[in-house]
Amino acid sequence: MRRHEAGAGSTDRDAENGWEVAHPLGGTSLGGVRMAGFRDRAAAGLDLRVLPQPTVVVVIGLGGNPVTVESATGHQPMRSLVAPLSPGPARIRGERVECVEVCLSPRAAYALMGVSPRELDGSVTALEDLWGRHERRLHEQLTDAETWQERLALTDEFLRKRAAGAPSMSPEVAAAWATIVARRGRIRVGDLAASSGWSRKRLWSRFTAQIGLTPKRAAMLVRFDHAARALRAGESASNVALACGYADQPHLHRDVLALAGCTPGVLAGSTTSAD
């Protein structure tokens, strides 16, 4: 969903485009996890382009109205879904959408999703295919809950239970990801390996297994995320290319086309799930 700013524990009923947005009281109990509830108050319908971003996005639909995911594999109805770090060009459309959206850092996703990050990369996936009966039970609980705070608390409790005994990301991999984010993707893999104390080959292997992307692809993603935000904020492509560390404007154009499946101009006018 398009992210709206609101204080912790609040419900914004004047959100842009008629969306009601609710945030949990006191935040969430797990690091690397953000969540919000969304409801299409104005029945305006949902039509958004799914873009790569440095978070795994889980959308848990409420009620019985599925959304339609349009991608290279066709049109698929999904009640709940997960969009990985690099989902491939896709759109999500729906009517009278009501859902809980959970944004997971790669470290949180590694612990909570229950599958290898490599299995998540490449396409938007139905959440039921990953969580099975656990997704169905959570959907029932959230649908039956009467308030947003109940729903958000139930989701937080569900994730906290999944985190118990979950695998932990290697400190070296977590540090390498944090460095990529801090440097906005402008770092060489050789420098990452040197700072981790691992060989380039070992870092490449462990990082890819636990993040789901190679270090080079992760850096490309983080740089793209900053560029996409700037383009949607109205910055010119030439200025964005310079500010985000691209060699030139054609380099920006190639990366946007490769990651988003559209040109920088089209991306600048799109509505996305990134906040």
- Model confidence pLDDT, tens digit, residues 226-259: 999 999 999 999 999 999 999 999 999 999 999 9
Calculate mean pLDDT across residues 2-23: 60
Same domain, residue pair 159 and 109:
yes
CB atoms inside a 10 Å sphere around CB 63 = 13
Average pLDDT, the chain: 89
pLDDT grade for 85, boundaries at 50, 70 and 90: very high
Beta-bridge partner residues of 101: 36, 59
Q: How confident is the model at residue 274 (pLDDT cuts 50, 70, 90)?
A: very low
* Domain limit, last residue, from 163, 195, 220: 163
Residue percentage of the chain with pLDDT more than 90: 73
From the list 10, 127, 5, the residue with the least C-alpha distance to 61 is 127
Alpha-carbon span 32 to 103, nearest angstrom? 8
Own/partner long-range contacts of 244-250 (Cβ < 8 Å, ≥24 apart): 244/184, 244/185, 245/184, 245/185, 245/186
pTM: 0.89
Residues 176 and 159 in one domain: no
Into how many domains does the chain fold? Answer: 2
Q: Give the strand pairing for 46-50 and 74-78.
A: unpaired
Quickly count helices (H) and strands (E) in the chain.
12, 11
Asked if residue 97 has pLDDT above 50, the reply is: yes
Task: Please check whether residues 126 and 62 belong to one and the same domain.
Answer: yes
Residue 215 phi/psi, 5-degree rounding, is -55, -40
Let me know whether 141 and 175 are in one domain: no
Q: Based on the domain organization, do 129 and 193 belong to the same domain? A: no
Of the chain, the percentage scoring pLDDT greater than 70 comes to: 91
Q: In the β-sheet with 19-22, what is the strand arrangement from edge to edge?
A: 11-12, 19-22, 33-40, 98-104, 56-61, 80-83, 125-126
pLDDT at 116: 84
Last residue of a domain, one of 163, 197, 228: 163
Task: Give 1's pLDDT tier (boundaries 50, 70, 90).
Answer: low
Same structural domain for residues 39 and 62?
A: yes
The CATH code of the domain that includes 197 is 1.10.10.60
Within-domain flag for 3: no
pLDDT confidence of residue 269: 81
Average pLDDT of 147-164? 96
Residue recorded with tokens 């292997």: 205
CA angle 199, 205, 206 (to 5 degrees): 90
**Domain enclosing residue 21, as ranges:** 11-163
pLDDT at 13 over 70: no
- For residues 224 and 153, membership in a common domain is answered with no
pLDDT tens per residue, range 191-229: 999 999 999 999 999 999 999 999 999 999 999 999 999
> Do 141 and 178 belong together in one domain?
no
Return the pLDDT at 3. Answer: 42
* The pLDDT of residue 54 is above 50: yes
Domain boundary among 147, 163, 179: 163
The CB density around residue 186, as the number of other CB atoms within 10 Å, is 14
Q: State the residue for tokens 């569900």.
A: 158
Q: State the pLDDT confidence band at 11, using cuts at 50, 70 and 90.
A: low
Q: How far apart are alpha carbons 88 and 188 in whole angstroms?
A: 24
Supply the pLDDT for residue 12. 59
